[in-house]
Amino acid sequence: MIKTILKTLLLLGTLGYLVFAVVKVSRSTDEMVCSGVEFLFSDSIEERIIDANMMSSLLGQFKISPQGKMLAEIDTKEIEERLSAVSYIDTVVCYHTAAGKLCIMVTPMHPILHVFPREGEEFYVDRNGAIIPAANGLVTRLPIVTGHVTQKYASTKLISLGKYLRKNEYWNQRVQQIYIDEKGEVEIIPIYSNQRILIGEPKRIGEKLDHVRLFYEKAMPKAGWNKYNVINAKYRDQIICKKE
């Protein structure tokens, strides 16, 4: 019984000290002046459509100037809400460090296609189908979509193609442009050739492009890479080639 009481007292004492330490640190931090703002990003530089300069510019537009203010006066919730409302930002977490620096952790949207429609402004499509206004052209390594493409078409029917290219290293390195014709059918233009790969409606993407890859690896070296410039993979289990 005595041991149990002693353990309980020791536990309560430890918890009390931890609470005291947390409150003391919190109070001392709140009394500090913000020494600077640091932006942290959850994605790689290659995938990023927003950078620290753009984030600083957004703070300026929103008339938010944390540096030099007391940390206790900085409304981190307001910063999170204002920045999260930006179309190309997914989530924002704002906090300050024990050293007095304000950290803003940003999760940008993740674009998978860069679209240049025949009508209207260019835009990005993210992996969930959200439309993202072009953000100062920071993204340059995405497949470009042109032709008869609308935001609705891009955000619904082209998502499967964008995701496939994103995950498939072979095709991700080879696709330069995606053209949508007036029927809504897809043509892929590879980087290193003058060929057009016709895949029709953007369905069974993996199956169609697997057949084209097999054709490239088995037949083209024998036939010659310049023999055909149209590779038709629209139809199930067959490849039709011709020279135009």
What is the per-residue pLDDT for 140? 60
What is the per-residue pLDDT for 13? 46
Q: Give the confidence band of 117 by pLDDT, cuts at 50, 70, 90.
A: very high
**pLDDT of 24 above 50:** no
In terms of domains, do 120 and 86 share one? no
In a domain, 136, yes or no: yes
What is the per-residue pLDDT for 187? 96
- Select from 48, 82, 108 the last residue of a domain: 108
Q: Give the confidence band of 3 by pLDDT, cuts at 50, 70, 90.
A: very low
In a domain, 165, yes or no: yes
d(CA 69, CA 105): 20
In a domain, 182, yes or no: yes
d(CA 6, CA 100): 39
- Select from 108, 139, 165 the last residue of a domain: 108
d(CA 163, CA 181): 21
Q: What is the pLDDT of residues 120-163, one digit of tens each?
A: 889 999 888 999 888 655 566 789 999 999 999 999 999 999 99
In terms of domains, do 104 and 149 share one? no
In terms of domains, do 60 and 80 share one? yes
What is the per-residue pLDDT for 202? 93
Q: What is the pLDDT of residues 50-101, one digit of tens each?
A: 888 889 999 999 998 888 888 888 899 999 999 999 888 889 999 988 888 8
**CATH code, domain with 83:** 3.10.20.310
**pLDDT of 25 above 70:** no
- Select from 108, 134, 163 the last residue of a domain: 108
Q: Which helix (H) or strand (E) holds 161?
A: helix 159-167
- Who's near 65: CB < 8 A, 6+ residues apart? 59
In a domain, 221, yes or no: yes
In a domain, 134, yes or no: yes
In terms of domains, do 175 and 210 share one? yes
Q: What is the pLDDT of residues 210-236, one digit of tens each?
A: 999 999 898 888 877 778 889 999 998
In a domain, 28, yes or no: no
In terms of domains, do 96 and 119 share one? no
**CATH code, domain with 234:** 3.40.50.11690
| Overall domain count for the chain | 2
Q: What is the pLDDT of residues 166-187, one digit of tens each?
A: 999 999 999 989 999 999 999 9
Residue span of the structural domain in which 67 resides: 36-108
Task: Tell me which residue of 169, 162, 128 sits closest to 143, measured CA to CA.
Answer: 162
Mean pLDDT over residues 35-57, rounded? 82
In terms of domains, do 116 and 154 share one? yes
In terms of domains, do 96 and 133 share one? no
In a domain, 129, yes or no: yes
Q: What is the 3 state secondary structure string of 174-234?
A: CEEEEEECCCCCEEEEECCCCCEEEEECCCCHHHHHHHHHHHHHHCHHHHCCCCCCEEECC
Q: Give the confidence band of 49 by pLDDT, cuts at 50, 70, 90.
A: confident
Higher pLDDT, 199 or 9: 199
In a domain, 53, yes or no: yes
In terms of domains, do 211 and 163 share one? yes
In terms of domains, do 86 and 186 share one? no
